[in-house]
Structure 1
Amino acid sequence: MTDTKTGVASAALSGLLATVGTMVHSLRKEKGMTLAQLAETSGLSPAIVSQIERGKANPSFTTLAQLAHGLEIPVGRFFFGHDEPVSPVVRGTDRRNLQGVTRESVGEAAHELLTPDQNGLLEAQWIVSPPGHDTSATPFHHGGEEFGIVISGKIDVYLDGERHTVEAGDSMTFASTIPHWYINRYEEPCVAVWVSTPPAR
């Protein structure tokens, strides 16, 4: 009987740690922070933050308080979740900027979240890629699938080195496991909606 109770308690603890880890990871992503940035703002080591996000550490209340400070949220958020249900509607004026990049930043793309958060099975982003934007130095490669549709302008999407030029009205779908990158070699910004399932994390 004791072993059974111990097993149940252990499973419950593991579930709680996994939930806290997922919450920390999601909040960090929503704020556009790297793991190193969160570690710095919370006064913790990157290794500890990584272990917590993966549910591999049992953080003390003090550690959770430090994380809450770094994420600029009440520490109670870890225990009680959201104070109120998340609306399924994302207003155009309320989109979260995922990378801290404004639309006027030369050479950098602005990524705005179209889904309420990053906790679901899919993630949609409104992406504005200015002329000169080029991610070929750091190709993307992750699990799942992607779908994109260009709203205005055009952009070159490379799938394992093969170039595909997509412009207003064009859409494309591909496996995210294929190394892919984007180059806007044209004279106007490219505005597109990209959907990943599951989200790249």
Structure 2
Amino acid sequence: MSGFDVGARLKQLRVQRDLSQRELAKRAGVTNSTISLIEQNSVSPSVSSLKKILDALPVTISEFFAGEQLSREQVFYRASELTEIGDGILSWRLVGARRPNRRMSILHERYPPGADTGEDMLEHDGEEGGVIISGTIELTVGGDVQLLTAGDAYYFDSRLPHRFRNVSDSECVIVSANNPPSFSDGGNAQHHA
């Protein structure tokens, strides 16, 4: 796991945009204390909460985790070089997070038992697909709910509301890709009314 400092990065972006914690919280539809606790690294935001906050800046997930520096065009990545962008419970490790002009996201995802992307369904531009490597995942896309197991796969339009939940008692591992390489280009707060 990378030692990425979510709190410091969020504070850096908020200050760069001359926003108070209160103003950012208002724009994102979360409480002031949520922003404060995340910036202090006292809590790890869920994927859906982080997405709401980044949409309010607006900053894409990939821009958030890329930080200030971009690397040369690296070809091979050791396991230790993948950037953790999960929420502290589920693990999403991004391949090539700092690659300049990256046009897709490839993720190595791990969902422990009970892990969930959140009750706020994810919605963003693009497409995504993946293959379940081990375990079982409950995937909701639009109104359709399916249990997928090792060897099963999915591919859908990411504008459809979707949610991943591990309802089993063992870890689920998925390798996935999405394009464009972010959840959102911002401005999608209406999805979380």
Q: TM-score, normalised by structure 2?
A: 0.60
Using the TM superposition, give the Cα deviation of residue 110 of structure 1 relative to its aligned residue in structure 2, in angstroms: 0.7
Using the TM superposition, give the Cα deviation of residue 115 of structure 1 relative to its aligned residue in structure 2, in angstroms: 3.0
- Could you tell me which residue of structure 2 aligns to residue 37 of structure 1? 11
Q: Tell me the number of residue pairs that the alignment of Structure 1 and Structure 2 aligns.
A: 140
- Could you tell me which residue of structure 1 aligns to residue 176 of structure 2? 194
The alpha-carbon distance between structure 1 residues 33 and 141, as it changes in their structure 2 partners (threshold 3 A), is: farther
- Could you tell me which residue of structure 2 aligns to residue 185 of structure 1? 167
The amino acid that maps onto 2:90 is A
- Are residues 1:111 and 2:98 paired? no
**Is the Cα–Cα contact under 8 Å of residues 14 and 57 in structure 2 kept in the other structure?**
no
**Is the Cα–Cα contact under 8 Å of residues 157 and 165 in structure 1 kept in the other structure?**
yes
Using the TM superposition, give the Cα deviation of residue 37 of structure 1 relative to its aligned residue in structure 2, in angstroms: 3.2
Between the two structures, name the one with larger relative contact order (CA 8 Å, sep ≥ 6): 2
Structure 2 gap segments, 5+ residues each: 25-55, 61-66, 185-193
Deviation per CA, 1:79-107: give whole Å up to 9, x if none. Answer: xxx5x623121111211111362xxxxxx
- Are residues 1:97 and 2:84 paired? yes
Using the TM superposition, give the Cα deviation of residue 138 of structure 1 relative to its aligned residue in structure 2, in angstroms: 1.3
- Are residues 1:124 and 2:106 paired? yes
The alpha-carbon distance between structure 1 residues 42 and 177, as it changes in their structure 2 partners (threshold 3 A), is: closer
**What is the percentage of aligned positions where both structures have the same residue?**
22
- Which aligned pairs between 1:23-172 and structure 2 lie closer than 5 A? 32=6, 36-39=10-13, 44-45=18-19, 50=57, 82=70, 85-99=72-86, 101=88, 108-117=89-98, 119-172=101-154
The alpha-carbon distance between structure 1 residues 35 and 97, as it changes in their structure 2 partners (threshold 3 A), is: closer
Using the TM superposition, give the Cα deviation of residue 32 of structure 1 relative to its aligned residue in structure 2, in angstroms: 4.7
Matches of 2:168 and 2:136, distance apart in 1: 7
More helix by percentage: 1
Matches of 1:33 and 1:124, distance apart in 2: 24
Q: Secondary structure at the match of 2:108?
A: strand
Using the TM superposition, give the Cα deviation of residue 155 of structure 1 relative to its aligned residue in structure 2, in angstroms: 0.4
